[in-house]
Amino acid sequence: MTTSDRWDVTQSARVPGILGAARRAPAATAYPVGTVPPAQDSPPMANRPQDSSPSSRSELNAWLVEEMYEQYREDPDALSKGWQEFFADYRPDEAGSTTNGSTVTPEASPAPRKAVAAVPEDGPDPERIRGVAARIVENMETSLGVPTATSVRDVPAKLLEVNRRIINNYLRRTRGGKVSFTHLIAYAMVKAVETVPAMKNTFAEAEEGKPGLLRPESFGLGLAVDIENDDGSRTLMVPVIKDADTLSFEGFLRAYEDVIRKIRLKKLDPAMFSGGTITLTNPGTIGTVHSVPRLMSGQAAILGVGAINYPAEYQAADTRTLAKLGVGKVITLTSTYDHRVIQGAESGMYLSRVHELLLGKDGFYDEVFSSLGLPYEPARWRTDSTDVDSQTDLLSKQMKVGQLANMYRVRGHLIADLDPLRQRPPEMHPELDPTYHGLSIWDLDRDFLTDVGGSTQKMALGDILGVLRDAYCRTIGIEYGHVLDPEEKAWIREQVEGVDEDVPPEDQLWILERLNAAEAFESFLHTKYVGQKRFGL
């Protein structure tokens, strides 16, 4: 093994995921006259052009190596310690290599014809593409060597919307933070690999250059992140969540936000870009409905997430009409996979499993809620059963909404958040579950007459439940069903239903002052009357 070959092995073991095209081609070997060189289709193991590990062949972040290397040459101290160690023995590609003291230039093979536009003789000269953009061109052309196919599936987004709203409302009231649609969809995609493990298979070369298959025990999820540069241009980076399939949802959420924060703050490290097997891209954030992204060499699959919206034929309709008809938003998911090691049926089964998880099958949302410490049960998927042309059906649901509101006033305290130690799993009381009354998630956007929150008015069922849960099911449980005086019950409802939760800054300062005074008085009592029994404030 030559020195250059040894460098290839050690460097790819250190940061395999970002080398890709930046790795050096093996040294050409000079053979004595009269001997027959090995066949080209069965190169020796030490002289293979690339390492067989999938991560070492990834082209996604190869441009980053070149850019960081230029910065290293100008000012090594400007880079982090990890990059300095990486570039300590790094050497860029060279045109030729040396064997036994003589320079041998590999025989050039004819380059494939590229798809280029014809340049008019009287037109402007083409502008040369340089730097990162040139590396992207090279990566895209390299990706053409990967035979791919794409599966597409539309998934209802209604339950995803409802449960995300429940999660974020709880986080807003407690520790802060926010869960995005991408967080939940990405986690469902990771969990779906457990059912269809073929989706993490990668193509590799076996002995004698024969096609091979790698089946990793765990995999990293790459996140395609679009970065806007200072000059207005855009750059794609693909950091990796390591061992994504071993994380709980909370651990996955923390890892996701950690890599995104480092990218935004430009705190880059070589280890961030290695180990990716499946990549997630979300063009839906800019309104793209359906995307078929390119699959880079060394990757098993790349998953695309489209925009969440109503079907195009309904986007001009009134939202009240859509709610009445039970028309919900949908999301288009795509799976572009390496067809050499993943078959179309497997990709289709994989998207079907993602579909099932996003509809709550096998306790997907229960796991998410439990991981985040939510003291509630998630909403459940149920088909709509409303007859929009039947007045009897509409009146029946109106009556059931009134019954549901009364149950929250009487038994809402039974699901209040009164267990900070989480010693018992959350359990929904049957009479507080809308499905018990024949209501479903499709009724949440429909308007009903109600006296919740004050005077009689029309409100969407989702808003009615929000007011009732804020009043009776948060960190204070209120029970007044035993009160017989109607005026007293009406007064209690006025004080708790629909009350503005926002506390002005001056009131917050007053509360803080009173708490500090109480704490000071508590400390005084503890010092003055040591060992005496007393009630704490």
The residues carrying an active-site annotation are: 339
Tokens 């549901």 sit on residue: 404
How many angstroms separate the Cα of 341 from the Cα of each of 157, 215, 227, 346? 31, 10, 32, 10
Nearest alpha-carbon partner for 179 in 163, 191, 190, 193: 163
Burial of 479 from C-beta contacts in 10 A (0-12 / 13-18 / 19+)? middle
In this structure, what token pair is assigned to residue 334? 């795509």
How many CB atoms are located within 10 Å of the residue 416 CB? 17
- Quote the CA–CA distance of 245 and 79 in Å, as a whole number: 31
Q: Decide if 247 contacts 257 (C-beta within 8 A).
A: no
Written as one string, the DSSP assignment of 283-352 is: GGGGT-----PPPPTT-SEEEEE---B--GGGTTS-HHHHHHHT---EEEEEEEEETTTS-HHHHHHHHH
How many CB atoms are located within 10 Å of the residue 439 CB? 23
Q: Decide if 31 contacts 37 (C-beta within 8 A).
A: yes
